[in-house]
């Protein structure tokens, strides 16, 4: 962008709404942009398509923004359906308005898979959306092991296993506030694994088996967490 951005809007695409990791990550970006004097606001995409009024408020916010940030979880290897809906609405709105402004568009994508690269196809889709809808692509922050950050308050200062994630968000805010795309170095920093893969697998499997035991006890059904019914004898 030729001028410094003055306002930013965050579009949160998680069905967990206020309790989502996507909101926590997006809020960190907005907080850092606000400290640089920018006006910020956020919208939950799942609520935006409940009524025409809410959808209109979201579109108006995007229309007046210098920076648009999508934050959402990975659904297999794609965008959640409401995010796809929002992209279609925004693209159609901008075409109808014949908008010539080119706001920066960035995204923050996280997943429960341990590997960060699982998120790359979703970022590529957002890049294509930015080009087709008349935005200036500013890059995508991606991270695996999103479950490790879920429900955890983000510390004010980088520390612990979330330190690289926090540094990445803060550095991304610095880039966006200057009207430039997020640097490759910042994207790489954000995407570093939080802890060893083997430990993540163990924690994930333990959590799954615990939920199976809880459900079995509640339902009265006999469930075997180690069952392999389709393995031949």
Contacts of 178 (CB under 8 A, 6+ apart): 4
pLDDT bracket for residue 225 (50, 70, 90): confident
Give the chain's mean pLDDT. Answer: 92
CA–CA separation, 181 and 106 (whole Å): 8
Rounded to two decimals, the pTM is 0.90
pLDDT bracket for residue 1 (50, 70, 90): low
The string of DSSP codes covering 28-56 is HHHHHHHTTT-EEEEEEHHHHTTSHHHHH
Reply yes or no on whether the pLDDT at 233 is more than 70: no
State the helix-helix crossing angle for 81-97 and 52-63, rounded to 10 degrees: 60
pLDDT in tens, 63-112: 999 999 999 999 988 999 999 999 999 999 999 989 889 999 999 999 99
3-state class of 136 per DSSP?
strand
**125's tokens:** 């889709």
Q: How many CB atoms lie within 10 A of CB 94?
A: 20
C-alpha pair distances (Å), 194 with each of 26, 147, 153, 197, 202: 19, 10, 16, 9, 14
Cα separation of the two ends of the chain: 63
Is residue 182 within 8 Å of 106, Cβ to Cβ? yes
Residue-level pLDDT at 53: 94
Residue-level pLDDT at 149: 79
CA–CA separation, 79 and 43 (whole Å): 17
- The H helix count followed by the E strand count for the chain is 9, 5
Alpha helices in 50-193 (DSSP H): 52-63, 81-97, 120-133, 146-149, 163-177, 184-190
**Residue 137 DSSP class:** E
**187's tokens:** 């994207």
CA–CA separation, 169 and 161 (whole Å): 14
């Amino acid at each position: 962008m030729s001028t410094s951005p003055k306002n930013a809007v965050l579009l949160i695409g998680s069905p967990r709404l206020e309790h989502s990791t996507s909101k926590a990550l997006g809020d960190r970006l907005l907080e850092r942009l606000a400290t640089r004097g920018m006006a910020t606001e956020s919208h939950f995409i799942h609520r935006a398509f409940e009524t025409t009024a809410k959808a209109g408020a979201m579109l108006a916010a995007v229309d007046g923004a210098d920076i648009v940030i999508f934050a959402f979880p990975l659904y297999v290897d794609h965008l959640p359906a409401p995010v796809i809906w929002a992209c279609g609405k925004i693209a159609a709105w901008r075409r109808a308005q014949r908008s010539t402004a080119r706001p920066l568009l960035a995204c923050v994508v996280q997943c429960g898979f341990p590997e960060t690269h699982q998120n790359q196809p979703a970022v590529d889709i957002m890049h294509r959306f930015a080009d087709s809808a008349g935005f200036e692509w500013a890059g995508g922050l991606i991270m695996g092991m999103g479950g490790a950050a879920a429900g955890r308050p983000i510390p004010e200062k980088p520390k612990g296993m979330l330190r690289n994630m926090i540094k990445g968000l803060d550095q991304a805010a610095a880039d966006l506030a200057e009207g430039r795309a997020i640097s490759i170095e910042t994207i790489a920093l954000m995407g570093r694994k939080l802890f060893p893969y083997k430990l993540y697998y163990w924690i994930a499997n333990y959590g799954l088996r615990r939920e199976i035991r809880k459900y079995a006890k509640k339902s009265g059904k006999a469930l075997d967490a180690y069952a392999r019914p389709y393995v031949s004898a």
